Amino acid sequence: MCGIVGYVGSKKATPILIDGLLSLEYRGYDSAGIATIEKDVIKVMKDKGRVNNLYNLEGINDLEGSVGIAHTRWATHGRPSKENSHPHMDNSNTFAVVHNGIIENYADLKEFLISKGYSFISQTDTEVIPNLIHYHYSNGPVSVIKDIKEKLLSAVKNAVQDLKGSYAIEVISPLCPEEIIVVRKDSPLVIGKGSNENYIASDIPAILKYTKDFYLLDDNEFAVVTKNTVTFFDSSLQEHNKPIKNIEWDANAAGKDGYEDYMLKEIFEQPTAIRETIGSRFRLGEKCSFDDIEISKEYLSKVNKIYIVACGTAMHAGLTGKTLIEKLCKIPTTVEVASEFRYRDPLIDENTLCIYISQSGETADTIAALKLAKQKNAKTIAISNVIGSSITREADYSIYTHAGPEIAVASTKAYTSQVVLIAILAMHFAEILDSSNKEVIENLKADMIDLPSKIEQILDNTEVIKDFAKKVYTEKDMFFLGRGTDYNVSLEGSLKLKEITYIHSEAYAAGELKHGPIALIENGVTVIGIITDDKLLEKSISNIQEVITRGAKTLVITNQILPNSHFDFIINIPKTNPLISPILSVIPMQLISYYIAKFKGLDVDKPRNLAKSVTVE
């Protein structure tokens, strides 16, 4: 949530800042703003609404400064308004700040500052930060610190020490007009290195067109950024060196490449993402390769429980992972919602393995849950799409999907890549433990290698999906039914529908229908059933027949030969092993949600109230 951009160089900062904000729109926001240093004064331009609104602000084209910061805000403290938008200034207009995260003790800090004569314009938690910096700068140890730059950095450090919560912060001041000071804690921030210019952003894609060389800030780490240098400091302001990472994402991958929307592009990129995720881990006839994690047979044999912890779509990927691990490895596995996990005092010890899934690697709840497991001496594995993200730096081991940048808020290719990667991990563990028949593993590998071409078959025949979407896009309620792994993927299909169409939907295990949910079925309501496991075919058909007799319209997504029935619509998908069928059956559901949203005239890539990276709890 929220987005940060910064620029220090020789060029005019404003176009670069706004361009970066446009690249971060997928994170979700309700207002935007920039601040630049103009002839030793700070100029702030901001307003509620879309980033493009900045182009219409009077005087924005007159900004010539080559140092600036920018922000897209997601309202937490105070309604969306110009006053509550970032950047925020201190009372003396000496310091400008943008901030991602939440300052939990802002009310106490605000009361303290008011007692010292400070006043406030906004209702935000952020406005305390520039005023705290001013307070510490004005009350710093003048006799000890003579250099203005050193004094300013010390003031920022002292202000940050007063903060409780999460933050990624950029600070500019005409006192040091050629630099930006940044610091982070539990909120992502990267610095991109250029030639005689440097960039700052919340996410790599925002500045990927300018550089592929990045510094990844750690928690409680400061950096002073000028056009030619980046200097790093720990929490005590001890200077240290930091390695640079080259990110091999194609900048064009973050563009639409002729597709109408990012979401549609990313749906169609799934065969490539899955091929690359598989290709990095195994070939037929060879064992799975995870050289990046040191998991021995001795250790796995002692593991008595595996937790898979994630949020939203990543959690749904974890549900399929649970089925795979238990089936292949015979280890009890529990899937947990990250936001609830650490508040119920989970039973974790050195014989517990915890797997954390996060597309961005910056999901605050998931990172907090990971830290809890480490405190209890459990081994931790992170699954992410972003190299060097916070979760991958916290975990004992990290493995990566190869989905490339995912821009649309509603996840598609990241989900299928996560399911593929955790399936390969389950096979790897099974090979270490020798817990499954080798033929079973090899057959599963063969089925996985065929997945990309089978997805392409589905994507080549979208007209029936589009036709169904056109018939139901005005509806207010829909239901999804499935058994086994089909129920897992029903949850994801229901979530996609909620996210981008704003249609109320629920997913139920089909066998639970008679235990309450059937009371919701009435004449004309749409029910989507998923049937991909021949062992559950008859029972699944019986469950769907129950809603038909109560007047429901039905769509069935299946790879089975169905007996004569009264289903209104059928979408056929290729056969595969039921353990990995969610990778195929989710594709029609992604497309159904996409086309319904288009028929409703909605913003597919940026649905209301949602953000790509949920970096606050």
Final residue of a structural domain among 196, 224, 248: 248
Final residue of a structural domain among 227, 248, 269: 248
Residues 534 and 424 in one domain: no
pLDDT at position 143: 46
Residues 121 and 162 in one domain: yes
Whole-angstrom distance, CA of residue 258 vs CA of residue 118: 52
Residues 135 and 259 in one domain: no
Q: How many domains does the chain have?
A: 3
Which one, of 267, 329, 262, 272, lies nearest residue 295 by Cα? Answer: 329
Q: Is residue 616 part of a domain?
A: no
Whole-angstrom distance, CA of residue 172 vs CA of residue 67: 8
Residues 305 and 382 in one domain: yes
Please name the helix (run of DSSP H) or strand (run of DSSP E) that holds residue 72, with its range, or none: strand 67-73
Residues 326 and 413 in one domain: yes
List beta partners, residue 225: 180, 230
Q: Is residue 606 part of a domain?
A: no
Which positions ≥6 away from 144 have C-beta within 8 Å? none
Residue 130: cis peptide before it, omega within 30 degrees of 0: no
Q: Per-residue pLDDT tens for 23-64? A: 877 666 778 999 999 988 999 999 988 888 998 899 999 999
Report field, pTM of the whole predicted structure over 0.85 = no
Whole-angstrom distance, CA of residue 8 vs CA of residue 197: 6
Residues 80 and 201 in one domain: yes
Residues 107 and 211 in one domain: yes
Residues 479 and 535 in one domain: yes
pLDDT at position 146: 59
Q: Is residue 271 part of a domain?
A: yes
Q: Is residue 613 part of a domain?
A: no
CATH number at residue 517: 3.40.50.10490
Q: Is residue 612 within 8 Å of 409, Cβ to Cβ?
A: yes
Which one, of 588, 582, 544, lies nearest residue 566 by Cα? Answer: 544
Q: Which residue has the tokens 């459990």?
A: 378
Residues 84 and 204 in one domain: yes
Which one, of 424, 381, 444, lies nearest residue 277 by Cα? Answer: 424
How deeply is 215 buried, as exposed, middle or buried, from its count of CB atoms within 10 A (0-12, 13-18, 19+)?
buried
pLDDT at position 27: 61
Q: Is residue 611 within 8 Å of 73, Cβ to Cβ?
A: no
Whole-angstrom distance, CA of residue 420 vs CA of residue 249: 20
CATH number at residue 239: 3.60.20.10
Q: Is residue 405 part of a domain?
A: yes
Final residue of a structural domain among 213, 248, 283: 248
Residues 63 and 168 in one domain: yes
Whole-angstrom distance, CA of residue 235 vs CA of residue 593: 46
Residues 420 and 471 in one domain: no
> For the chain, which residues score pLDDT lower than 70?
1, 26-28, 140-146, 249-255, 257, 564-565, 611-617
Q: Is residue 609 part of a domain?
A: no
Q: Which residue has the tokens 């300013």?
A: 152
Residues 299 and 197 in one domain: no
Containing domain of residue 207, as a range? 3-248
Q: Is residue 144 part of a domain?
A: yes
Whole-angstrom distance, CA of residue 557 vs CA of residue 576: 14
Q: Is residue 456 part of a domain?
A: no
Q: Per-residue pLDDT tens for 415-434? A: 999 999 999 999 999 999 99
**329 an active-site residue?**
no
Three-state secondary structure string covering 151-173: HHHHHHHHHHHCCCEEEEEEEEC
**354 an active-site residue?**
no
CA-to-CA separations, 449 to 322, 408, 420, in angstroms, rounded:
21, 26, 10
pLDDT at position 25: 73
How deeply is 433 buried, as exposed, middle or buried, from its count of CB atoms within 10 A (0-12, 13-18, 19+)?
middle
Q: Find the catalytic residue in 2, 288, 329, 354.
A: 2
DSSP letters, 161-215, are HT--EEEEEEEE-TTSTT-EEEEEESS--EEEE-SS-EEEESSGGGGTTT-SEEE
List beta partners, residue 381: 355, 397
